[in-house]
Structure 1
Amino acid sequence: MVSNTRRPALSWAAVAGTAHYEVWINISRTDYDFTASGNLLDLYTKVAEPTGTTYTPTWDITDRWTYKWYVVAVSGSGARTTSTIRQFSVYLPDIEQVADGVNVVNGARDLNKDGTIEPYEDWRLSVDTRVSDLLGRMTLEEKAYQMFYNVQQFPLSGWHFGPAQPADLNNVLLSTAATRLGIPPVSAGDTTAGYQTTYPLQSTLAAGKDYPLDYQLGNMQREEELEVGARGTLSPLAEVGTKVLYPRIQEGGGENADVAAAQLRALVAGLQGGPELNPGSVLATVKHWPGEGAGGEAGIVYDGVTIKYHMIPFKAAMEAGAVNIMPGYAGSSYLDPGGPGAGDSAKILTYLRQNLGYTGLITTDWLPSGAWVNAANAGSDVMGGADPGATGFTMAGFEQQVPLARINDAVSRILKLKFELGVFDHPYGDPVNGPYRFHQPSYVQLANQAARESDTVLKNDGVLPVKLNAGDNIVVAGPRATDGASCCIWSSYFHPDYGSLDMLDAIKKRAATAGVNVYQDTGPSPKLAIVNVGEPSYTHATSWPDTQPYLPADQLALIQNFKSQGIPVVVVLTLPRPIVTSDWNNLADAIVVTYRGGEEVGPATASLLFGDFTPHGHLPWQLPRSLDQVLKPGGGDNPADANEAWDLPYDLGATAAERADIRAKIDAGQTVPTTYGNPLYAYGAGLTSWATG
């Protein structure tokens, strides 16, 4: 039933001999054990111990569709009798009344503006009832448009290209109210590491392994999006990074599938505000199915054994309540030999539904218009990034080539999701005042904490923390010292307009509190050089050639130059992917890895350098000892040229016997030890004190 109160009265039959009862409800929590498997929706909390056979909550239960509860009768001797599980929903929306041409009739929005409330408009009815009623009222064209983006230009479309400026988004949402049935869109964009407050990328968070913090970061993003009516994000990634040369390894959850899984549970639960999609959620879009970390966008190379490893975070995301999954560009030689990319491969999508039991929405990655019909017929529900105005595309042609049953199947999922989000009853945010609640100090502190916990000290020969005297000089050099954007990628942002500091300015600010002078590039008699090197921002392709996973000559020369002058060198390394560091490892007196640390990585790292806190982070991947652990001499980015196994974790420099053992453990469902191979720095490397090492 859908409750008509936030404090529903629960009752049950008496059990003879009972001293008291326990009432257990699967209320939403913020302190789940994100490392544990199992559906978050099936985790219960004891909320009361009444002696009678009724209980009414003393707090307001938030909107959610699947509240489960049961009662345990406890006798005087301690014997326990457990009831069956019962279920209810709570949905009491704040019905929006704005100047959008939609009147409120009998307490509900009259979306089709006919003066009466049809079942699909009545929030008091079940989601399934509303879906069935609305689907029956829609024309074929109205249905087909629900599968497409670009509501900015086509008001019948189901999806909005996000992110947008708050006023622009609000104008688009208002325009859709004028359509015949008033079906609202969902705005979703590549906000992969925060909406307005940028936190570290997932591989960086994997160095911190603070899953309750990951939950808070997802929840922070949810709160910022809800301020202005943005209700979706094309994140997080459920990918395990086992291929060193994959450019987007930076966006995934590191090399450890269990760490990636815990991170996915936390982020999905935070973004969706609980263990299932609900009217307070931002829709998480988990990607890129079926796991491009094992090969990259050109082709996934796992087989019937190693696929098990790469499915672990996808299963975890579903356990956390994810109901939207994005297939990637890559095909799978195992799931669909010789077939297309995942978004228009029926075999790859069928595996998702049949083998993982997934029933939610499937949204393609940004495919060209010529692939949309094939993608829909393969089982994709939403054409991600698809613009119905694309050259050579007609909606009529799409409707003719995609069977009605397939369109109905897809649109039923889309409508169900929108009703569960509550956007029919509360479609708008606050475009005027909402932006003033972006980037709050508490949000910045969360981003700073995430960067602090992720920063990884690989080496320290006694130069850290910085303990110089007032009046001493430091030189800060290197291309990443003033490259604020390197903290992020194209779908997350450095925010100088909010006061974000790059590495140079952050070190200057922190050094000033100790009376230490900071010079850029060169200065008089420096006692220390902090050299900021690494790769600038990129997404689909590395900034350096992907077959060059090592510092370029000019950055290496910076380190050598200071060392040759007898100046102690701290290397601060922006590390979006594993690279070879052997050629300068012995030149550095200390190495601090910042990964893609988000907008607060400068202040966080400066605080670390000056000893305001002890190191915490651990490498989320192995670092190769030499390039030949990755590639054959002269090799390129293809499996035949690889010395690492693209689908195996922890195998840099591994023997054939070690790789066989890794496979055997994966096949048996056992945890894979992180100690295989012969890397320069092992997975999980990182100092946790200021002792030299």
Structure 2
Amino acid sequence: MSVETAPEFQRAPDGTLFRDLNGNGIMDPYENPGLPVAERVEDLLSRLSLEEKAGLMFHTMVSAAESGNLGDETSRAGRATLQEVVADKFVNHLNFHFVPEPRLASRWVNELQRLAMNSSPHGIPVTLSTDPRHSFIENWGASFTAEYFSAWPEPLGLAAVRDEQLVREFAAIARAEYTAIGIRAALHPTIDLATEPRWARQYSTFGQDNELVARLALAYLDGFEDQHLGDRSVACMAKHFPGGGPQRDGEDPHFPYGREQVYPGGMFDHHLEPFKRVIAHGVTAIMPYYGMPIGLELDGEPVEEVGFGFNRQVITGLLREKLGYDGVVCTDWSLVTESRLHGRQLPPRAWGVEHLSEKERVLKVIEAGCDQFGGEECPELVIELVREGQLTEERIDISARRLLKVKFELGLFDNPYVDEEQAEQRTGLPEYVAAGQRAQARSVTILKNASNNGAALLPLAPGLRVYSGEMSADALAEAGFTAAADPADADVAIARVAAPFELRDHYMLESSFHAGSLEFDSGTISRIEELAAVIPVILVPHLDRPAILAPLEPHCTAIAAVYGASDTAVLQALTGAVPPEGRLPFQLPRSEAAVVASRPDVPGDTKDALYECGFGLEL
């Protein structure tokens, strides 16, 4: 949208173009783009009602209408309508889930911004955020497939390449595609350490090496925030403080059975290192995890065994006071109320404080030092706490000030609109897609490359007949191969397999979290054995977390691990058209028994691993 078509844009007597957000016909200090952000924040804060301040403290989920027309959204599973959330509750931080094609998405976003301006006494714009959506794993609780954007390997794949410049390139392209449709906040990077091999969230991390994670995290911030937060930036939220990897039995704290974080190796500080680095860099926001620490001591004092978002010792004592962080702290999603989606329910992630009422949980989160409630839309509880005298409005001002500062820095008060006509031309560009595909190929990690008739099997020579039950014939033909319908008629087999997991589907989101055993089922093992009895096999496992490859490895002539890669990218790597550079971002255990015996907080702690972190062959 151009400024000429938005009626709130006006010129002050001195010629300054501004948005008359409160409709009083004059340029108030908070509307003046020439004033320092701090002055604008204080002016606006002095004008806001308690209701408007409370609305700032909530960050709920929303899906755009497929039509691109505001008001066509489907039911929000018993929650308030979008109109009620924005216009009545003054909630103006929204986590974008379903996104239609770019032109329609940008139209919807512009209508949303007009709704926020017209329904708020002071025209506070919406900040739209998203979980990662540039890769291959669809998980409505954590990430989305690329779809209209360029597709890249999961962060694990970026870590496998170990190239900070590649991470900056990815983040800059992702920023360009986000901002094209009005997304201005990223609920990432995930800078947890992948130290428990069974944990389901590893695909979105940079692996187990805390120094590598820290370096790549800084490059990530540079690419998304464009060095310093401004009107072309996407603000990042680093997660999950103080490090979400050390989960007891590798279970995830989205679910009641995974609520405990443990440190039998005494490596709590080791997991903190990436957070220390991004704090020093000036990261905009930080998200604590759901987990509750068990048996943890800080400075000789036992830490209360409650979820990190409720934990004053961790948020105020460690993050605020000891580490000196004064940015936004937003809880992980739904600590206060239960969640429902697609016929499934998930209780509030109020681990350790399940006995508290919803209002008591809100109070404990704020007293812990958090500024914002992720996944919630109940500002009325904050208002009640203030009016009952349990919270002061001055405490609410502290959080509102931090939240407003980011909105001003992003330039949203000056122009929150996007160009609907240009949205398609700024997303999924051929050069973006090509860069993502090249990164996928570069991230491929060659774990084995044995001889085939006296020579290493890889790189594959053109003209071969290839049998694959998973790869497309078109991709094979494009790479110079002939697709064989039967292994007996082929020169080589390429078997793409997913890392094993145990399917669970009792709780909401549970089926999307790949948890449990890392062992392959007998059917997969038999299939590879039978193929290997006929022709050489190239195993291509997709590692969204480690897999126990030991039963398969002896039967495979070559193994090439991937972390999100198309058939075309895999074949580019296997032929050497794009040399594979990947090195394992985590250890691959030899057995499930070794995993069970390992300590969740210690990186690479399984005994006699099949492949160590950092391993990878060159072609």
TM-score range, shorter chain: 0.7 to 0.9
User: Percent of aligned positions with the same letter in both sequences?
Assistant: 29
- Change in 2 beyond 3 A, CA 1:222/1:246: same
1:189 aligns to 2:152 (yes or no): no
Distance in 1, Cα, partners of 2:589 & 2:578 = 29
Distance in 2, Cα, partners of 1:250 & 1:593 = 13
Distance in 2, Cα, partners of 1:606 & 1:111 = 54
Distance in 2, Cα, partners of 1:545 & 1:444 = 27
Task: Tell me whether 399-408 or 299-308 shows the greater mean CA deviation.
Answer: 299-308
Task: Considering fraction of residues, name the structure with more helix.
Answer: 2
Show the 5 A alignment for 1:388-407.
388=378, 394=381, 396-400=383-387, 401-407=390-396
Residues 97 and 104 in structure 1, CA contact (< 8 A), matched pair in contact too: no
Show the 5 A alignment for 1:629-644.
629-631=594-596, 643-644=597-598
Secondary structure of the 1:281 match is: coil
Deviations 1:139-195 (A, max 9, x none): 111111111135833222121231542222221111111121011121001125467
Secondary structure of the 2:373 match is: coil
Structure number with the bigger relative contact order (C-alpha 8 A, sep ≥ 6) is 2
AA of the residue aligned to 1:462: S
- Change in 2 beyond 3 A, CA 1:469/1:149: closer
Measured after TM superposition, the shift of residue 540 of structure 1 is 6.9
Residues 289 and 332 in structure 2, CA contact (< 8 A), matched pair in contact too: yes
Show the 5 A alignment for 1:618-633.
618-631=583-596
Residues 534 and 575 in structure 1, CA contact (< 8 A), matched pair in contact too: yes
Partner of 2:550: 582
Partner of 1:36: none
Partner of 2:268: 307
Show the 5 A alignment for 1:235-384.
235-274=188-227, 276-295=228-247, 296-297=252-253, 298-302=259-263, 305-333=266-294, 334=296, 337-350=303-316, 351-367=318-334, 368-369=336-337, 370=358, 371-384=361-374
Secondary structure of the 2:490 match is: coil
Partner of 2:138: none
Residues 238 and 317 in structure 1, CA contact (< 8 A), matched pair in contact too: no
Distance in 1, Cα, partners of 2:320 & 2:133 = 25
Deviations 1:301-346 (A, max 9, x none): 2379512211111122223331101111112232563432111221
Residues 540 and 559 in structure 2, CA contact (< 8 A), matched pair in contact too: yes
Residues 442 and 578 in structure 2, CA contact (< 8 A), matched pair in contact too: no
Distance in 2, Cα, partners of 1:174 & 1:314 = 37
Secondary structure of the 2:496 match is: strand
1:234 aligns to 2:174 (yes or no): no
Residues 291 and 300 in structure 1, CA contact (< 8 A), matched pair in contact too: no
Secondary structure of the 1:286 match is: strand
TM-score when normalising by structure 2: 0.80
AA of the residue aligned to 1:130: R
Match of 1:546 among 511, 515, 519: 515
Secondary structure of the 2:545 match is: coil
Show the 5 A alignment for 1:123-134.
123-134=33-44
Partner of 1:85: none
Residues 122 and 130 in structure 1, CA contact (< 8 A), matched pair in contact too: yes
Task: Tell me whether 368-377 or 621-630 shows the greater mean CA deviation.
Answer: 368-377
Match of 1:387 among 367, 377, 382: 377
Secondary structure of the 2:201 match is: helix
Secondary structure of the 2:114 match is: helix
Distance in 1, Cα, partners of 2:513 & 2:327 = 38
1:602 aligns to 2:567 (yes or no): yes
Secondary structure of the 1:630 match is: helix
> Please, which runs of 5 or more residues in structure 2 have no aligned partner?
63-81, 100-104, 136-145, 254-258, 338-357
Measured after TM superposition, the shift of residue 372 of structure 1 is 3.2
1:136 aligns to 2:63 (yes or no): no
Measured after TM superposition, the shift of residue 469 of structure 1 is 6.6
1:120 aligns to 2:30 (yes or no): yes
Deviations 1:259-316 (A, max 9, x none): 1011100111100011x32222101111111101122532222379512211111122
Deviations 1:453-473 (A, max 9, x none): 210010011353354574x52
1:681 aligns to 2:606 (yes or no): no
Secondary structure of the 1:530 match is: strand
Match of 2:406 among 408, 417, 429: 417
Measured after TM superposition, the shift of residue 113 of structure 1 is 1.0
Residues 236 and 285 in structure 2, CA contact (< 8 A), matched pair in contact too: yes
Secondary structure of the 1:300 match is: strand
1:439 aligns to 2:432 (yes or no): no
Measured after TM superposition, the shift of residue 230 of structure 1 is 1.4
Partner of 1:160: 94
- Change in 2 beyond 3 A, CA 1:144/1:219: same
Distance in 2, Cα, partners of 1:611 & 1:444 = 19
Partner of 1:429: 418
Task: Name the Cα RMSD after superposition.
Answer: 2.5
AA of the residue aligned to 1:345: N
AA of the residue aligned to 2:39: T
Secondary structure of the 1:586 match is: helix
Deviations 1:537-579 (A, max 9, x none): 9997577973320212222121011112x31111111111112
Partner of 1:527: 491
Residues 534 and 573 in structure 1, CA contact (< 8 A), matched pair in contact too: yes
Distance in 2, Cα, partners of 1:95 & 1:453 = 40
Residues 149 and 388 in structure 1, CA contact (< 8 A), matched pair in contact too: no
Larger Rg: 1
- Change in 2 beyond 3 A, CA 1:303/1:630: closer
1:180 aligns to 2:121 (yes or no): yes
Distance in 1, Cα, partners of 2:420 & 2:363 = 36
Q: How many residue pairs are counted as aligned between the two chains?
A: 524
Distance in 1, Cα, partners of 2:528 & 2:432 = 35
- Change in 2 beyond 3 A, CA 1:256/1:476: same
Secondary structure of the 2:110 match is: helix
Distance in 2, Cα, partners of 1:544 & 1:429 = 34
1:652 aligns to 2:606 (yes or no): yes
TM-score when normalising by structure 1: 0.71
Distance in 2, Cα, partners of 1:365 & 1:441 = 35
